[in-house]
Structure 1
């Protein structure tokens, strides 16, 4: 690390340094070599920074979050990635959970842009992070579509849909906190008054900005869609409850007919057919006929 300033004396040299979960002591040498502001170094060491781009006299400080959605548990993980950007050097700071190899592959797959130095390195880092945001939003959209199919399934999935929708809303809120501030971060980088950036890289940062906007708009629409799914699920449950109540009421009406008839014939009254066999047949016939009429009437009205 003490040789970085020597490399920077070469006119065509660009330096990249990578730190994994460093302490303030670990960054002390790089702070001295690149003249980093001590407040930026403190932000790099402390966790839970908001996504931002701070401007200092000699460098920029970037804080962003890489996100990933587990395909099995559907849990959303956020990894904090930070970077110091000078005109000819980039220093990345991240925990072990972040795969820096993906960023290196992005750099290696675009060797024609390496001539732009630090701006090229920063673009590769942001491009990987924003692509992760976009892929995560796409995965969440796929989950929501599967829950939409469950809404109109004949089997009742009310509790499952409510629980999964709640988890989806939590993931979308966490994702929104990582994606939404990136608009301001990338937009600030594209400003002409930032002399640290190579202006030939502006079209590439504009492409990243477009992806940020798409991911942000998609996240907002998914939040509305999850709320719609919850409302639809409650409406369907209410309709099913009304249908069940209609069926129960219809069966209660049918059962009330034989109860009324047998109760009437069970009284000590000289009714028609009292004490005769055909009187019993008459009571049974009334039960069957009236009950059948009620059943046919309810069935025609789709109450049964």
Structure 2
């Protein structure tokens, strides 16, 4: 059954009217109403349900197919009388969101009466960081290790003369979160459909910023553990793998956004913002582009950081392996002299002074002194 939420701005009121319906004809009628600006939100419609809505609006079958394709790349395009776009919004998994909330609350916690300044907050922050590490390692997760830490909600849209038809793949991104992007815009009718699209994109980019900040903080924690010999190796590798996987998924959502922005705004129709809000839209989309460029550059730097962490980790592993080999070789050298001496005289060859106490002393010195000398020499060079 079709699940549609219609938000309409009319000339009679500055506040939007919100209603829900499962009738495709009501959705089409709302989008074709010349006296209102409409945002229609469809939650996970089937191909037939979206066709019932899209066909009367003149949407092509291929556009409808792309809007619900499970692995569609973020993109946007201008057509003769409408525009289309596909973006991905990131929302943290419930256990990740809980860990982030604990971490943020811990960093704001005041110190106790008997504690040094910020000691309580620092201790709580350390505990929260440990919780986040366990989430990354799959020990506290509600899903198994290796599954995505952030839900990727596909949001497809059709920008029509009378409003926007938006299609969400799931409810991880809520309508309330989308509507938050419209607050502070003033009279939405002056900005038109492209003002509503900006509100959505602003919410999407803010979510990408939050995800990038999360990965940045966790990669910094990895860097701190990199030279800590007491850090658990398997846990370190699990966290590094999870972060690298999340960063790859994040970059897939972020990198195409610049092209999406260009296709939607720089190639916009001439009547976009014709209600008197064109200058305001120019400023809003310029600010949005700045945010997109910032998060893109941030993910680039994180990619370099995680690559450096991996390379340094491998180098340290090689160094520690060399240290182990040095110690093994050193002890082998120490043991070789006594082995040679005892092995030689163990072949029924009498050692000097065999029948006297002095001979025993000489035999012991023959075994111990060279071994001790080799041990001292290797110890001095740092091999042991």
TM-score tier after normalising by the smaller chain length: 0.7 to 0.9
For structure 1, list consecutive stretches of 5 or more residues without a partner in the other structure.
Answer: none
Is 1:235 aligned to 2:319, yes or no?
no
Q: Find out whether 1:92 has 2:174 as its counterpart.
A: no
Residue equivalent to 1:65: 88
Contact 2:78 2:264 in 1 (8 A): no
In structure 2, relative to structure 1, the CA distance for the partners of 1:87 and 1:7 (3 Å cut) is closer
User: Corresponding residue for 1:180?
Assistant: 255
Partner of 1:110: 184
Contact 1:75 1:171 in 2 (8 A): yes
**What TM-score, normalized by structure 1, do the two folds share?**
0.87
What is the rounded CA distance, in whole Å, between the counterparts of 1:29 and 1:247 in structure 2? 74
Over aligned residues, Cα RMSD in angstroms? 2.5
State the TM-score, normalized to the length of structure 2: 0.70
Q: Deviations over 1:6-65 (max 9, x none)?
A: 742x2xx31121111123443456436644444433333443322111212211111111
The reply to whether residue 167 of structure 1 matches residue 193 of structure 2 is no
2:280 equivalent to 1:206: no
Q: How far apart, in 1, do the equivalents of 2:89 and 2:270 lie?
A: 27
Runs of 5+ in structure 2 lacking a partner? 1-25, 97-134, 136-140, 142-147
Paired residues in the alignment total 300
Residue number in structure 1 paired with 2:367: 287
Q: Give deviations 1:230-277, integer Å, cap 9, x for gaps.
A: 221121111111111111111111112222233444455565422001
Q: Which deviations, in whole Å up to 9, do the C-alpha atoms of 1:122-147 show, x marking residues without a partner?
A: 11100011111121122112222222
Residue 30 (structure 2) pairs with residue 4 (structure 1): yes
Q: Distance in 1 between matches of 2:286 and 2:159?
A: 18
User: Where does residue 43 of structure 1 map in the other structure?
Assistant: 66
Is 2:86 the partner of 1:52?
Answer: no
Residue 19 of structure 1 pairs with residue 99 of structure 2: no
Q: Which residue of 2 aligns with 1:144?
A: 219
Tell me, yes or no, if the aligned pair for 1:60 and 1:86 is still in contact at 8 Å.
yes
Larger Rg over CA atoms = 1
Aligned twin of 1:254: 334
Cα contact 2:31–2:163 (8 A) shared by 1: no
> What is the rounded CA distance, in whole Å, between the counterparts of 2:271 and 2:165 in structure 1?
14
Q: Matches of 2:236 and 2:213 in 1, distance apart?
A: 19
1:273 to 2:296 alignment: no
Q: Secondary structure at the match of 1:85?
A: strand
Equivalent in 283, 299, 308 of residue 219 of structure 1: 299
Q: Distance in 1 between matches of 2:249 and 2:350?
A: 79
Inter-partner Cα distance in structure 2 for 1:43 and 1:283: 87
Q: 1:263 & 1:255 partners in 2: Cα distance?
A: 12
